[in-house]
Amino acid sequence: MMWQATLRDLQWRRRRFLIAITGTALVFAMSLLLSGLASSFTLETNRTLHAIGADVWIVKQGASGPFTAFSPVPDTDATRVAATPGVTEAQPIIYLHQTVGEKPKDINLFGVVPGSLGEPTVAHGRRLQSSGEALADTTLGVGIGEQVEMAGRSYDVVGTTKHTTLNGGIPTMFISLKDAQTLLAGNAVASAIVATGTPTAPIDGLRVMTVDEARDDLLRPLQNAAQSINFVKVLLWIVAACIIGSIVYLSAMERTRDFAVFKATGTSNSALGFGLAIQAVVLAVAAAVIASVLATLLAPIFPLPVEIPTSAYLTLFAIAIVVGLLASLAGLRRAVKIEPALAFGGP
């Protein structure tokens, strides 16, 4: 019975419910975009590390990782690593934060041995062959044949890579190891040694990190941002619950006489509660559907990379149901307290 009464009430007060759905959908869409933002931090890092192609990252003993602290190792350590049992290939790699262009633009700079492990596959153009050449991520906006100014020197872009961003959409550029070392006063050093295979013996003075550990090192500076995003997401869910809760409560207040009549004619509190819960869940799920469409449309024009994973959509629907159920509690408390004797009241 409450199905019918609930659906009819949704139709009856459709304008108000549409406003609530719109407001909640905007809030949900924001939470989805934030999910996509947080998720993109991890996804872009995974893709870039995958493009580099290493199975392990080997850094100086005591260093926290190849990205967050610069603890250089001699580039010749690559030979030592390559000779370690279990390793099939090892190459030195340099990672630096840099800027390019006259109007400084942040990039993640990798120095790699051309044609070897560490150099990603290009989307267009060709791989590095000699000094003065660069591979640039497409988001840097520099085409093949163009030049990039970096630290007082020009680099010819010979190839472009796709999906090789880090640290929240900052593009990555690859140059030769030797060119990168000139930025370090010409010292024959590397940030780390990348290798394929897995060393089965300890390497003196060096620490072997898995790709996951390297990723964690890269993401550590973003941890606070990711936590803040999650915190804001929870706040947004609470806001959504408040919007739906207030509408359902208002609806319950206006339906006081109706509920009294239902009770006087034998409808139980649980049935009334079921009706309110259904109403709130329908509102929340409808808002989630609209939010999904909205977020998908907004994601490409968001200033930061936003990649909303399927799990975020599924989570949103689960959250919508929980939000709906919690929101219905406000109306439920009201409905339970209504005395059926009210039905006998006058107009």
Partner 1 sequence: MKETAGADLIVTDLTVEYTAGDYVVRPLDKFNLHAPDGSLVILLGPSGCGKTTLLSALAGILTPTSGTITHAGRTISGLTGKALTEHRRHGVGVVFQAFNLVPSLDATENVMAPMLAAGISSRDARARAVQLLDQVGLAERAHHHPGDMSGGQQQRVAIARALGLDPPLILADEPTAHLDYIQVETVLRIVRGLAHPGRVVVVATHDDRMIPLADQVVELVPRFVSEALAPQQQELDAGDVVFEQGDRGDRIYIIDKGSIEVVRNRGDGTEERLAVLAAGDYFGEMGPLFGLPRSATTRATEPSTITGYSVKDFRDKLGIERLGDIVSVAKQRV
- In the complex with partner 1, the residue whose CB is nearer, 10 or 243, is 10
Radius of gyration from C-alpha coordinates of the chain = 29
Query: Residue 170: which of 100, 234, 114 has the closest Cα?
Result: 100
- Specify whether the CB–CB gap between 59 and 206 falls below 8 A: yes
- In the complex with partner 1, the residue whose CB is nearer, 46 or 269, is 269
Report in angstroms how near the CB of residue 226 gets to partner 1 at its nearest.
Answer: 45
Report in angstroms how near the CB of residue 289 gets to partner 1 at its nearest.
Answer: 23
Residues that bind partner 1 (CB under 8 A): 1, 4-5, 8-9, 11-13, 257-258, 260-262, 264-268, 271, 339-341, 343-347
Instruction: Please state the separation of Cα 49 from the chain's center in Å.
Output: 16
- In the complex with partner 1, the residue whose CB is nearer, 4 or 310, is 4
Beta strands in 71-166 (DSSP E): 73-74, 87-100, 105-112, 124-125, 133-137, 147-150, 153-161, 165-166
- In the complex with partner 1, the residue whose CB is nearer, 33 or 260, is 260
Report in angstroms how near the CB of residue 343 gets to partner 1 at its nearest.
Answer: 5
Write down the residue that tokens 């009706």 correspond to.
275
CA contacts within 13 A on the Cβ side of 182? 10
Q: Kindly list the distances between the CA atom of residue 157 and the CA atoms of 114, 140, 142, 186, in Å, as whole numbers in the listed order.
A: 14, 11, 8, 22
Give CA–CA dist 150/164, Å, rounded. 19
Q: Residue 102 class from Cβ within 10 Å (0-12 exposed, 13-18 middle, 19+ buried)?
A: exposed
Give CA–CA dist 30/35, Å, rounded. 9
Q: Is the dihedral of CA 296, 301, 307, 312 positive or negative?
A: negative
- In the complex with partner 1, the residue whose CB is nearer, 260 or 287, is 260
Report in angstroms how near the CB of residue 257 gets to partner 1 at its nearest.
Answer: 6
- In the complex with partner 1, the residue whose CB is nearer, 7 or 329, is 7
CA contacts within 13 A on the Cβ side of 287? 35
Report in angstroms how near the CB of residue 251 gets to partner 1 at its nearest.
Answer: 10
Show the tokens assigned to 261.
């009549």
Report in angstroms how near the CB of residue 309 gets to partner 1 at its nearest.
Answer: 40
- In the complex with partner 1, the residue whose CB is nearer, 94 or 260, is 260
Report in angstroms how near the CB of residue 263 gets to partner 1 at its nearest.
Answer: 8
Report in angstroms how near the CB of residue 227 gets to partner 1 at its nearest.
Answer: 45
State the amino acid at position 46 in one-letter form. N
- In the complex with partner 1, the residue whose CB is nearer, 20 or 113, is 20
